Amino acid sequence: MNIQPDDIAPPARDTWQAVRRGLGLRCPACGRGKVLSGFLRPAASCSSCGEDLAALRADDGPAWATILIIGHIVSPMFFVFATQDAQTSLIAFFVVAGLVLALTALILPRMKGLFMALIWSTRASEVVPETD
């Protein structure tokens, strides 16, 4: 039996380790380089190990996950702040709006790192569609 290079499966990647690294905004491959070059802009490659990060497109996944998490944190506050007093409602609005903005700034980049790490660990960016 003759084994071709395409028949050899690539080594498995540790998904949980990649998730931890992604949440820490670190390269899923080595854990040392940064996965983002700005607030949400992915780095072209890891500055430490040279892993290609440009193909790891998270698209709308991080925004969806951020909305899901923050919605579950903030929505119970509407029941706590529900009053008939207009001035109290205005204060509650600013408290909730400030909390939403702060949580978004904290969570959104980490969700981007998480999704990029999941794409890297499952090799989803390496799949080539078949053409007829």
Residue range 94-124, pLDDT digits in tens: 989 999 999 999 999 999 999 999 999 998 8
CB neighbours of 26 closer than 8 A, spacing ≥ 6? Answer: 32, 33, 34, 35, 113
> Can you tell me whether residue 52 is helix, strand or coil?
strand
Nearest by Cα to 96 from 110, 82, 85? 82
Residue range 22-45, pLDDT digits in tens: 999 999 999 999 999 999 999 999
Question: CA-to-CA distance for 11 and 113, rounded, in angstroms?
Answer: 22
> Can you tell me whether residue 87 is helix, strand or coil?
helix
Which is more confidently placed, 80 or 57?
57
Q: Is the pLDDT of residue 125 over 90?
A: no
Task: Calculate the alpha carbon distances from 128 to 5, 104, 117, 125 in Å.
Answer: 17, 34, 19, 8
Neighbours of 101 (CB within 10 A): 11
Per-residue pLDDT, 79: 80
CB neighbours of 103 closer than 8 A, spacing ≥ 6? Answer: 69, 70, 73, 74
Question: CA-to-CA distance for 65 and 108, rounded, in angstroms?
Answer: 8
Question: CA-to-CA distance for 75 and 91, rounded, in angstroms?
Answer: 16
Per-residue pLDDT, 118: 95
Query: pLDDT band for position 87 (50/70/90)?
Result: confident
The residues spanned by each domain of the chain are 13-125
